[in-house]
A and B are shown apart, each in its own frame.
Chain A
């Protein structure tokens, strides 16, 4: 059986009960929905020898048996959260060719595949989507009489391995490696960034502890020692022991002041050392994290960038690293210090006067209760506020980016009103949050205040009753003031922790992401390529439900100039992307000069292929730098030659700073055609063995296009060129044309051959011709 799904014992028994020969199943598929559209288990099994498709519903035990001879053209309807597998059912088997000629028989088959009753074979959620598509693929290949073996590339997607530990994912749909996730707990992994800064980290910790110690000692020295023993007059208790004024002299006043001053100085010095060590460590850690992130991003495949918006990635590089840093720099050390402080304070307070301390702790449960009940409400308000502020931001960005359109339609007032609405909503949310915030926290302060007022009362009585000295009492009050600091810190700390974990998870997600396109272990390095390209039954999609290429096969011989025509979205650019291996094929294979592209080192492949794509990006910098982007060592002579060939030389020299004109956002703006010409020059400078022009001249006037194509023709004589265009005039030099429609090669041949076929090309030709005629007729 092919490695798609495995039968469970229960399913096996179910099939056996209906008399199926389970051993001869070619492939089984488990769907996670029933035919009623609820969650449940449905099994499909293909038996090629008996030409049957079996369906078993595990929940109600219902069983169906279809003949594959009468069931054709399986296809998937893709919905939001579910997929429906359909097929066409017939009463009679597929017609025989008989006396019909090739063309007639093909039409007959086409109709047979298209007509018949559409029947539902099954439903499943997106969790089974990949497998469903593989199943349909197998079914189709069997229907055409093909053979599929266990090592067919279609199964590769179900054997993905965890990039770190190499174990095959337990759940192929949800590629989470439980093993690695557990082993490398995020927080511990983060510490690795600090391992080169042990000295600094130790210094920071030491300084924090020292300053905490000083702040704990200060009330004792300033109150218990200074007031009780120095300022207060001597006093003895009943047992004859001196309890006050042991150091009652003016000299001791000076000494005590000097000690206090010394402590203040010491804590200042400690603070400076701590901050310097901190700054040294934190800036470097942030730098390292950002560098790592950027390097990881650069190596990821294009598909990752299609799924993640640039804004989000920039955020990731900029803010996540900062957040993580601040957690370790500000969060962790303070957490430890606050923890110790809290324990120390509690011990001090209880040892000075346990009765009073109980009073201090009375409001604590109340405060905790308020936090517990009110904080979730406050969080929700904050998140609402955050959502509104981010929608205000996106509205702002949207409107400013589209300012040309706004002005063109004279919608300034409407945009302003739209902004007012967002702004009003944000204001409401802000107001609400502030109102609640400003109510809760004063109440909490009051509760805390009440306890300290109570302490003044009870403590005062104790001092009068001489069970406590004034110095002890003042020390005590000092400590009470300090204890709410740690409490406050702990309530914020959980927020900080979740924030950091989120940031860290996002960061590691990017760092751990394995590029989809990687060099095979035995990949070959190609110095140059001849440019013979073979597509063998290539299937490709960006998302499983939308096939872009379906079983496309063709051969481009070295030195050919091939033109690709077709509607927008027909898959032309995808072919270019697959040749340069921006994406990997889903099924089938592509080979260049007889090597499968997957077995060629990506670097060497892309070095030999130049692509001028529809989307032109010119970097900040001079025109010369942009042209030399791919080969920074090229001489200026070569740059000029390439610019000349791209017909860019003349307009570049007309610019005041010639080749040294700065371009890019905010600099001199070039027209669409000028940008295209620079990007062509950039591609030509590479002297590629294979040149792909993807609508490279679409923004130029026909005359310039002609000049460039002539120049290119001279330059790349004997090299393979692929030109993608929808304007037929662009394709005049091509010696072979392929018309792509709906992800298939609809027709191919020379321009004359295609005209005779009266297909896609003919349609395009007549349409463009008709427009010309209209122009001529003055319509």
Chain B
């Protein structure tokens, strides 16, 4: 019995087996993967895949596996989701972003920063409370902004390492990496919510 180890193709015809083929995700290293800027200003990728063939992707999606605690490790590179095949498959995983040279790191970082866009609050000009909603005016790493917050108890989250995430009424997220470093006036404005 043991020697009759059947393969999928023994039950399915070759043609049918092709229906179930799934890309094999590989570990991406500078040896098998080259990232470059696409013509549209996004990221293109050339790889040597698991079968040893060269493959080109006009655009790839770059994702973090641990966006909050470990942004540089386990970066997933996926096919984009298109209307035809909505779920893009994973092309490969980068163990650590620094496995690649600096220009590639810069390229990937730029894309990652866009995707995980979470403005850092530098300065809080004013917080006005009006019946359950607070109206904030602040300066962030992406420029000046005003936003509205409700229900601070559930929309201001404090991580164990003291980082603060603020989710506004639209679902946008702002962060304060080190609240202790805020200037006194700004700190006073958020103090009551902490």
Question: Which of A124-132, A146-154, A276-284 is the contact stretch?
Answer: A124-132
Across the interface, B114 reaches (CB within 8 A) one of A115, A123, A742, namely: A123
User: Would you call A525 an interface residue if the criterion is a C-beta within 8 Å of the partner chain's C-beta atoms?
Assistant: no
User: Would you call A383 an interface residue if the criterion is a C-beta within 8 Å of the partner chain's C-beta atoms?
Assistant: yes
Nearest chain A CB to B152 CB, angstrom units: 9
Given contacts A37-B114, A80-B115, A118-B58, 4 further A-B pairs with CB under 8 A are A81-B172, A174-B170, A181-B130, A501-B132
Given A80-B117, A505-B132, are A118 and B59 also a contact pair (CB < 8 Å)? yes
Nearest chain B CB to A676 CB, angstrom units: 30
Interface mask (B95-118 → A, CB under 8 Å = 1, otherwise 0)? 000000000000000000111111
Nearest chain A CB to B108 CB, angstrom units: 15
Across the interface, A118 reaches (CB within 8 A) one of B40, B116, B194, namely: B40
User: Would you call B82 an interface residue if the criterion is a C-beta within 8 Å of the partner chain's C-beta atoms?
Assistant: yes
Which residues 61-88 in A have Cβ within 8 Å of B in the complex? 73, 75, 77, 79-82, 84, 86
Which residues 42-58 in B have Cβ within 8 Å of A in the complex? 42, 58
User: Which A residues lie within 8 Å of B147 (CB)?
Assistant: 127
User: Would you call B144 an interface residue if the criterion is a C-beta within 8 Å of the partner chain's C-beta atoms?
Assistant: yes
User: Would you call B182 an interface residue if the criterion is a C-beta within 8 Å of the partner chain's C-beta atoms?
Assistant: no
Q: How far is the CA of A38 from the CA of B142 in the complex (A)?
A: 4
User: Would you call A779 an interface residue if the criterion is a C-beta within 8 Å of the partner chain's C-beta atoms?
Assistant: yes
User: Which B residues lie within 8 Å of A509 (CB)?
Assistant: 132
User: Which B residues lie within 8 Å of A110 (CB)?
Assistant: 84
Closest B residue, CB atoms, query A763? B19
Q: How far is the CA of A77 from the CA of B62 in the complex (A)?
A: 12
Q: How far is the CA of A123 from the CA of B158 in the complex (A)?
A: 28
B143 close to A176 (CB less than 8 A):
no
B170 close to A118 (CB less than 8 A):
no
User: Would you call B39 an interface residue if the criterion is a C-beta within 8 Å of the partner chain's C-beta atoms?
Assistant: yes
Closest A residue, CB atoms, query B167? A81
Q: Residues of A with Cβ closer than 8 Å to B?
A: 33, 37-40, 73, 75, 77, 79-82, 84, 86, 89, 110, 113-115, 117-120, 123, 125-127, 129, 173-174, 176, 181-182, 185-186, 376, 379-380, 383, 387, 501-502, 505-506, 509, 742-743, 762-763, 766-767, 770, 773-774, 777-779
User: Which B residues lie within 8 Å of A387 (CB)?
Assistant: 158
A173 close to B170 (CB less than 8 A):
yes
A118 close to B83 (CB less than 8 A):
no
User: Which A residues lie within 8 Å of B119 (CB)?
Assistant: 39, 81
A779 close to B16 (CB less than 8 A):
no
Nearest chain A CB to B81 CB, angstrom units: 8
Closest A residue, CB atoms, query B131? A181
User: Which B residues lie within 8 Å of A113 (CB)?
Assistant: 83
Nearest chain A CB to B83 CB, angstrom units: 7
Q: How far is the CA of A730 from the CA of B116 in the complex (A)?
A: 43
Closest B residue, CB atoms, query A121? B40
Given A81-B173, A117-B58, are A505 and B117 also a contact pair (CB < 8 Å)? no
B169 close to A174 (CB less than 8 A):
yes
User: Would you call B38 an interface residue if the criterion is a C-beta within 8 Å of the partner chain's C-beta atoms?
Assistant: yes
User: Would you call B12 an interface residue if the criterion is a C-beta within 8 Å of the partner chain's C-beta atoms?
Assistant: yes
B170 close to A126 (CB less than 8 A):
yes
Across the interface, A114 reaches (CB within 8 A) one of B84, B140, B148, namely: B84
Given A79-B114, A82-B117, are A73 and B131 also a contact pair (CB < 8 Å)? no
User: Would you call B191 an interface residue if the criterion is a C-beta within 8 Å of the partner chain's C-beta atoms?
Assistant: yes
Closest A residue, CB atoms, query B8? A770
User: Which A residues lie within 8 Å of B40 (CB)?
Assistant: 86, 89, 117-120
User: Which B residues lie within 8 Å of A118 (CB)?
Assistant: 38, 40, 42, 58-59, 80
Q: Name the residue in B84, B115, B117 with the highest tally of chain A Cβ atoms < 10 Å from its Cβ.
A: B117
Q: How far is the CA of A380 from the CA of B83 in the complex (A)?
A: 50
User: Total number of A-B contacts with CB less than 8 angstroms?
Assistant: 126
A185 close to B194 (CB less than 8 A):
no
User: Which B residues lie within 8 Å of A120 (CB)?
Assistant: 40-42
Given A117-B58, A118-B38, are A39 and B132 also a contact pair (CB < 8 Å)? no
User: Which B residues lie within 8 Å of A40 (CB)?
Assistant: 143
Q: How far is the CA of A743 from the CA of B83 in the complex (A)?
A: 10
Across the interface, A766 reaches (CB within 8 A) one of B6, B16, B132, namely: B16
Nearest chain A CB to B139 CB, angstrom units: 10
A117 close to B39 (CB less than 8 A):
yes
Given A80-B116, A113-B83, A770-B12, are A38 and B143 also a contact pair (CB < 8 Å)? yes
Can you list 30 A-B pairs with a CB-CB distance of less than 8 A? A37-B113, A37-B117, A39-B142, A39-B143, A39-B144, A79-B115, A80-B117, A81-B172, A82-B114, A113-B83, A114-B84, A115-B58, A117-B40, A120-B41, A123-B114, A126-B172, A127-B147, A127-B170, A173-B169, A182-B131, A376-B191, A376-B192, A380-B191, A383-B194, A501-B132, A742-B83, A762-B19, A770-B8, A770-B12, A770-B16
Q: Name the residue in A82, A383, A778 with the highest tally of chain B Cβ atoms < 10 Å from its Cβ.
A: A82
A79 close to B116 (CB less than 8 A):
yes
User: Which B residues lie within 8 Å of A181 (CB)?
Assistant: 130-131, 133
Q: How far is the CA of A185 from the CA of B131 in the complex (A)?
A: 8
User: Which A residues lie within 8 Å of B194 (CB)?
Assistant: 380, 383
Closest B residue, CB atoms, query A35? B41
Q: How far is the CA of A505 from the CA of B133 in the complex (A)?
A: 10
Q: How far is the CA of A123 from the CA of B115 in the complex (A)?
A: 11
User: Which B residues lie within 8 Å of A38 (CB)?
Assistant: 142-143
Nearest chain B CB to A779 CB, angstrom units: 6
Closest B residue, CB atoms, query A569? B87
B82 close to A114 (CB less than 8 A):
yes
Q: How far is the CA of A379 from the CA of B67 in the complex (A)?
A: 31
Closest B residue, CB atoms, query A78? B115
Q: Name the residue in B11, B38, B41, B145 with the highest tally of chain A Cβ atoms < 10 Å from its Cβ.
A: B11
User: Would you call B69 an interface residue if the criterion is a C-beta within 8 Å of the partner chain's C-beta atoms?
Assistant: no
A81 close to B117 (CB less than 8 A):
yes
A779 close to B6 (CB less than 8 A):
yes
Q: Name the residue in A81, A120, A380, A742 with the highest tally of chain B Cβ atoms < 10 Å from its Cβ.
A: A81
User: Which A residues lie within 8 Å of B117 (CB)?
Assistant: 37, 79-82
B172 close to A125 (CB less than 8 A):
yes
Closest A residue, CB atoms, query B173? A81
B118 close to A84 (CB less than 8 A):
no
Which residues 173-194 in B have Cβ within 8 Å of A in the complex? 173-174, 191-192, 194
A767 close to B114 (CB less than 8 A):
no
Nearest chain A CB to B138 CB, angstrom units: 11
Q: How far is the CA of A695 from the CA of B32 in the complex (A)?
A: 45
Q: How far is the CA of A40 from the CA of B145 in the complex (A)?
A: 9
Q: How far is the CA of A14 from the CA of B101 in the complex (A)?
A: 42
Which residues 17-33 in B have Cβ within 8 Å of A in the complex? 19-20
B170 close to A73 (CB less than 8 A):
no
User: Which B residues lie within 8 Å of A376 (CB)?
Assistant: 191-192
Which residues 124-173 in B have Cβ within 8 Å of A in the complex? 130-133, 140, 142-145, 147-148, 151, 153, 158, 169-173
B145 close to A39 (CB less than 8 A):
yes
Nearest chain A CB to B39 CB, angstrom units: 4
B11 close to A73 (CB less than 8 A):
no
What 4 A-B pairs have minimum CB-CB distances, sorted nearest first?
Answer: A505-B132, A119-B40, A39-B143, A742-B86
B130 close to A80 (CB less than 8 A):
no
Q: How far is the CA of A115 from the CA of B59 in the complex (A)?
A: 10
A770 close to B11 (CB less than 8 A):
yes
Q: Name the residue in A123, A125, A376, A767 with the highest tally of chain B Cβ atoms < 10 Å from its Cβ.
A: A125
Given A126-B170, A387-B158, are A773 and B11 also a contact pair (CB < 8 Å)? yes
Given A38-B143, A80-B117, A125-B172, are A117 and B158 also a contact pair (CB < 8 Å)? no
Nearest chain B CB to A378 CB, angstrom units: 12
